Amino acid sequence: MKFPLANRLITIAAIVAAGVAALSSCSRTVHPDLEKEILRLAALEDRDIHSFIEDLEREDSIGGYYLDPATRETTVDFFASLTRSPSIARVILDGAQQSGTPPALAFALAYEESDFRSDAYNDNGDSVDRGLFQLNSKSFPKLDIKAFYDPAVNARYGLGHLQFCIRTAGNEVAALAMYNAGRTRVSKGQTPQKTLNYVHRILSYRDNIESLFVAKVVVGPRATRLSLR
């Protein structure tokens, strides 16, 4: 995820609008202080906005924030507030880095699959889904039960499988559909409606996470400093 604000003509007002939309579209509370952060951004004056747009243009991805020692803990704290667990936040961030998956997409997938619960379990009748990324027993027959419920192992296999789906499908939409419904059905054009809804929810979660990250982590510290001038 890049933040080329000047090139895309994104202003603080747009970020605020995105944050409000995120609040209204998420069925569960994402961050308890978000509304206050958005209102603070909305109060910034134009001259303050222009004073840090050039800095924002140079900002890297969420992954870049995680790799940067100066912003690593802030990034972990942000995702810990989403997952309700610093350790789960780190596991997903590390898994995203290792697999080359955009972090916002990784968190959105885990949110949809398990609500960030490493002990999540779903019986499909002829197979079982387990853990953070709901690894299927038929798809991963060599994993033992302990491995399924190990968050780091689950994230590694889950995000690795997502990357396989992306390489196979050529785009994230079809890849997410394959992750949910299987490669055969999607390749044959037999994607179920419930899978299409699944993909839509994940992409909405991803967009919300990106907007919230910009508001809270990227712009938030600058807004605090500017408001004290």
Domain that holds residue 125: 5-227
The 10 Å Cβ neighbour count of residue 177 is 23
Reduce the DSSP state of residue 130 to 3 states and report it: strand
- Residues found in the chain: 229
**Which pLDDT score, from 0 to 100, does residue 92 have?**
98
Q: What is the CA radius of gyration of the chain?
A: 19
Measured N-to-C along each axis, helices 86-99 and 151-169 cross at an angle, to the nearest 10 degrees, of: 40
In angstroms, the CA 90 to CA 96 distance is 10
**Which pLDDT score, from 0 to 100, does residue 7 have?**
37
Total domain count, the chain: 1
**Which pLDDT score, from 0 to 100, does residue 2 have?**
44
Phi-psi region of 26 (alpha: psi -120 to 50; beta: other; left: phi over 0): beta
In angstroms, the CA 31 to CA 17 distance is 16
**Which pLDDT score, from 0 to 100, does residue 164 have?**
96
> Residue 92 corresponds to which amino acid?
I
In angstroms, the CA 75 to CA 89 distance is 9
- Specify the pTM: 0.75
Instruction: CATH number of the domain at 63, please.
Output: 1.10.530.10
**Which pLDDT score, from 0 to 100, does residue 107 have?**
97
pLDDT, one tens digit per residue, over 125-155 is 999 999 999 999 999 999 999 999 999 999 9
The 10 Å Cβ neighbour count of residue 52 is 18
Reduce the DSSP state of residue 110 to 3 states and report it: helix
**Residue stretches of the chain with pLDDT short of 70:** 1-60, 221-229
**Which pLDDT score, from 0 to 100, does residue 229 have?**
39
**Which pLDDT score, from 0 to 100, does residue 6 have?**
37
Q: Please say whether the beta carbons of 160 and 99 come within 8 A.
A: yes
Q: Please say whether the beta carbons of 181 and 191 come within 8 A.
A: yes
